Amino acid sequence: MPVKTYLVTGGAGFIGSNYINYMLKKYGESIRIINLDKLTYAGNLENLKEVETNKNYTFVKGDICDKGLVTKLFRENDIDRVVHFAAESHVDRSIRNPETFVVTNVLGTMVLLNAAKDAWVQADGTFAEGKKFLHVSTDEVYGSLGETGYFYETTPYDPHSPYSASKASSDLLVKSYMDTYGFPANITNCSNNYGPFQFPEKLIPLMIYNALSGKELPVYGDGLNIRDWLYVEDHVKGIDMVQEKGRLFQTYNIGGHNEKTNIEIVHIILDTLQKFLGDGDERKAKINNGLIRFVQDRKGHDRRYAIAPDKIRAEVGWYPETNFEEGIRKTIRWYLDNEEWKDHVLNGEYQKYYDEMYSQK
């Protein structure tokens, strides 16, 4: 069988790096991955040390908004699949600087769509067989739920932050290319991910690192906002399965069926750290509920998200394999066993590592 070439955008980020590590383990030499990443603050090549010397893996430092670079990648490589993770994704940052989110998430997606369309379209207007574009999105495009109910693929979009509005816009761009050109694509909308390599601005790694340092644990509002949590490895398995088995032009929701309030998450993290740390570890005595501080709520803070993954289960056969209790233990264990990773992320060491590894390439 010919080797399939994947262009993965944002592959040095949290979900993207988990996806690349998973795919190269699963498919070995039958696939080739080109990772295009700008290496913003949340992109970290330490996440990919396991595969950096793999002959079927190539890293390209660059911006998805760079039309010349993206076009060149398609021209020089027979790309079969695009898996588009690259995005600005932190709601708080979008409130402070919405323009960056629109540029990356909307304009960057359009650059990728145009490059893929031009590379894959045939003389008769149809697209070459086997080519697929998968756009990775979020449940936040649907807005906020009440105490009951779920987001379905048919739920109207109702974004409430600049971040979710930019992702909704990019989703609609992809949909328009499917409808207008017959462009071979899928959209996936996932619930909150957690697991290894997540940048510590997001709730779970932030709480882990702050607790280990004896720092305050800031919780928005009353802490009762509810999220549906999805272990990252389950998510990347779902993305792979949609690429292989999903019907073209379809949207698939990928959810974990693990609803928790934010304050529940914080208490679970504190309890689990207490169990994992030995009695001789001086950090253990500092980890207690007294670290929790309720702070002013985030602007436009959605109350509840919950995804119904019925369609992806029925059509693709995917289901979340990791319950939250197992997933959070694995996640906390990973952060405890890889504390040096935080240092690489937060003190600039990973940039030195990048310069050493790639400055001559």
- Per-residue pLDDT at 351: 65
- Per-residue pLDDT at 233: 98
- Per-residue pLDDT at 344: 82
Q: pLDDT, tens digit, for every residue of 106-146?
A: 999 999 999 999 999 999 999 999 999 999 999 999 999 99
- Per-residue pLDDT at 5: 98
Q: Which of 163, 305, 335, 354 is catalytic?
A: 163
User: Active site includes 46?
Assistant: no
Q: Which of 88, 140, 240, 259 is catalytic?
A: 140
Residues of the chain with pLDDT under 70: 349-351, 353-361
User: Active site includes 118?
Assistant: no
Q: Which of 139, 171, 259, 302 is catalytic?
A: 139
- Per-residue pLDDT at 349: 66
- Per-residue pLDDT at 44: 92
- Per-residue pLDDT at 300: 83
105 burial type by CB count under 10 A (0-12 exposed, 13-18 middle, 19+ buried)? buried
What ranges do the domains of the chain cover? Answer: 4-358
User: Active site includes 305?
Assistant: no
- Per-residue pLDDT at 42: 87
| Residue 51, C-beta contacts closer than 8 angstroms, at least 6 positions apart | 20, 21, 24, 57
- Per-residue pLDDT at 361: 39
The CATH topology of domain 4-358 is Rossmann fold (3.40.50)
Q: Tell me the residue type at 9.
A: T
- Per-residue pLDDT at 359: 53
Query: Residue 28 and residue 101: Cα distance in Å, rounded?
Result: 34
